[in-house]
Amino acid sequence: MRGFLVSTALLFTGLAFLATISAFGQTANDPWLILASGEKGSINLHTTRKDLIRAYGASNVTDQDADVGEGEMQPLTVLFAGDPQRRIELLWKDPGKKTEPAFATIRGRASRWHAVHGISLGTTLPELERINGRPFRFALTNDGTDMAEEHISWQGGLLEKTFKEMAA
């Protein structure tokens, strides 16, 4: 679980990419849905860069180097690099072969990608509390490095049940 105002982007990243790469495209009707399990979807735990090219076209798949912390660089694959509404960045478990996504990031104020219950970039704290059915707690801890860890307690609300079921 690494990595609103609590930053909306940070909270969404924590929600959508809990412990594994999130899968999106759960159904053909919603190719922008992001799920925490990573087992299903057009991008899942078994996706490769070659799969991305087949699914989205070579012109929509680009590679860059990414600073992953502590000065370490890794290959990053970007879908829809020129479109902020559809852009998503993938780091790989096997960076040499570019297989098995390890982490995904979306950035900005708004995105077509969304989690369950319509949660996305731009979802406000009051909206999250309404969806959850009660207030929740969010904390960030830092051990002195440039890595932070998110802690979310849904306080027994709907989202606690939703994310627990997805992780199972």
Confidence of residue 141 (pLDDT cuts 50, 70, 90): confident
From the number of C-beta atoms within 10 Å of its C-beta (0-12, 13-18, 19+), residue 103 rates as: buried
Q: What is the pLDDT of residues 67-122, one digit of tens each?
A: 888 888 999 999 999 999 999 999 999 999 999 998 888 898 899 988 888 888 99
**AA letter at 124:** T
Indicate the pTM of the whole model: 0.69
DSSP for 58-93, written as a single string: GGGEEEEEEEEETTEEEEEEEESTT-TTT-EEEEEE
Share of the chain above pLDDT 90, in %: 36
pLDDT of the residue at 151:
82
Spatial contact of 162 and 117, defined as CB atoms under 8 Å apart: yes
